[in-house]
Amino acid sequence: MKVALYLRVSTEEQAVRGYSIEAQKEALRDYALKKGWEIAGIYEDAGFSAKDINRPALKRLLKDIEDGKINAVLVWRLDRISRSVGDFSDIVEFFEKHGVIFDSATENIDTSTPSGRALVNVLAVFAQFERESIGERTRLGKLKKVQMGNPALGLPPYGYRIEDGEYKINEAEAEVVRLIFKLCVDNHWGYRKIASHLNEIGLKTRQGGFWNHGSISSILNNPIYAGLIVWNKTKSLRGKVIKRPKSEWIKLKGNFPPIISEELFDLASSRIKERNQRGRSLSSVYPLSGIIRCGLCGMSYNVNRRKERGVVNYFCSSRKGKGSVVCNNRTVNGTKIEKLLVSKLIEITQKEKELILSSFKGENRGEEISKEIKNISTALERIEAKRKKIFELYEDEEIDKAILKERIKELESEMALLKSRQEELYLRQDREKNIEHECSVAKICIISLLKV
């Protein structure tokens, strides 16, 4: 199989780490190697956007395909070929016509199947939506400004003021910013505790209001205080703003003074991360979050709380994160699954109990034990009565001393036997009661843990 590696990176993307042409090339080589494909050529379009097909390397690739030099085309991502659905389908059709396999190193596609081809088209539609909703031109203009170190000027963040079109430190506010970072890093406080502390000591927000979780969070998570501008954090996809992976962020030193050091900012970020992770593991509100796993893909199921209706749902994290193309397992209602689990656990404890009880092989149990204990008591009473009678006979000189002694001895050994049996039965009764008790405690624990 002779494969062509097609690489493209736009001028704008060249500024972003993780998009570099070298990294793409590396990934493609690895991928081709794994598939056992022979690399017939590398086609690079550096500094070209995907809005049209007017690209020298792409043209060369199409020509080589026509000349029968290539059996497969490998890209890092489908949008390397084109972001326009029309161009994209044309090219994929052209590949098909020449019997060329089209594959992406990061998206699981196989254009030799109808579903693979459909998927390719769906992804192309998304790519076009994305391109159109952002508008590469405006992005490019914005990026140039960022690269020059100017924050996109608007209302300055708390701690700064704007003077002559530049950010200057507002000392009074900057003091509060430093305090917030100190409380987070040195005192290990969370957003809420910091907010309530500031409110207690009478500090107000810029609007003169109370500090809250959100206002503290927006300060601790804003790299601007370390003198950094981060751009490209989000993108819009089908009209929704979504977060980009950190590897795609553009981080630049601004041309304005920092309020805190980069080191302190990073420390605060790791404190926040620690807290979040701790919070998640102690999540008592959603006890099954991260514990139950997807039966289709094996990833964890997490909670998705729809606040307005108070409905708690558990969803497959890989479906949520990567889309239904990766995993299509359904969302489950939280209350339902928790109830189901509780009944399952109770069933298991019940079975466990039966198992323990049945290990008292062939022994009497429960009611039978009580019955036997009662019988023994009656027997003991009867023996006691007999003993009394024998003494009476002796007193009335009906029997002599030797017979008395012999009879008493017999009765006493009979009594001892019965008493030891009775003792044994009492112990067994206790053991059974303990097992019953432990099982009911286990049930209560399970129920209260899951608050069902």
Residues in contact with Zn ion by CB under 5 A are 294, 296-297, 316, 318, 327, 329
Which one of the listed residues 10, 82, 104, 289 is annotated catalytic?
Answer: 10
- Residues near 78 by beta carbon (within 8 Å), at least 6 away in sequence: 88, 104, 107, 109, 120, 123, 124, 127
Pairing state of beta strands 72-75 and 101-104?
A: parallel
CA distance 426 to 377: 12
Min separation Cβ 328 and Zn ion, Å: 8
Q: Cα angle at 438 between 436 and 440, to 5 degrees?
A: 70
Q: Assess contact for 78 and 116: CB atoms under 8 A.
A: no
As measured in angstroms, the least distance from the Cβ of 332 to Zn ion is 12
128 vs 318 by CB, closer to Zn ion:
318
Q: Which is nearer to Zn ion, 236 or 329 (CB)?
A: 329
What tokens appear for 178 in the block?
């430093």
| DSSP-assigned beta bridge partners for residue 160 | 169
SS (H, E, C) 377-444: HHHHHHHHHHHHHHHHHHHCCCCCHHHHHHHHHHHHHHHHHHHHHHHHHHHHHHHHHHHHHHHHHHHH
264: three-class secondary structure by DSSP: helix
Using the minimum distance from each CB to Zn ion, give the nearer residue, 184 or 316.
316
Are 181 and 216 a contacting pair, CB within 8 Å?
no
Number of neighbouring beta carbons within 10 Å of residue 146: 20
Greatest extent of the chain over all pairs of C-alpha atoms, in Å: 134
d(CA 71, CA 410): 104
Residue number, 228 or 326, with CB nearest to Zn ion: 326
Q: Alpha-carbon distance 116 to 208, whole Å?
A: 57
Q: Compare residues 169 and 296 and give the one whose CB is closer to Zn ion.
A: 296
Nearer to Zn ion by Cβ, of 94 and 315: the residue is: 315
- Least gap, CB of 344 to Zn ion (angstroms): 21
- The rounded distance, in Å, linking the Cα atoms of 32 and 10 is 23
Nearer to Zn ion among residue 205 and residue 329 (C-beta): 329
For the bound state, the minimum distance from the C-beta of residue 333 to Zn ion, rounded and expressed in Å, comes to 17
> What's the token pair of residue 188?
């290990």
The least distance separating Zn ion from the CB of residue 315, rounded to whole angstroms, comes to 9
- Distances in whole angstroms, Cα of residue 441 to Cα of each of 337, 343, 350, 446: 22, 15, 12, 9
Query: Given the complex with Zn ion, which of 131 and 319 has the nearer CB atom?
Result: 319
User: For the purposes of burial, counting CB atoms within 10 Å of the CB of 55, is it exposed (0-12), middle (13-18) or buried (19 or more)?
Assistant: buried
Question: Is residue 10 annotated as part of the catalytic site, yes or no?
Answer: yes
In this complex, which beta carbon is closest to Zn ion, that of residue 24 or of residue 318?
Answer: 318
| Per-residue buried b or exposed e for 389-411, using 16+ beta carbons within 10 Å of the residue's own CB | ebeeebeeeebeeeeeeebeeeb
Sequence letter at residue 123: L
Length, in residues, of the chain: 452
| Closest approach of Zn ion to the CB of residue 329, in Å | 4
Task: Tell me how far, at minimum, the Cβ of 286 lies from Zn ion, in Å.
Answer: 18
Q: Which residues are catalytic?
A: 10
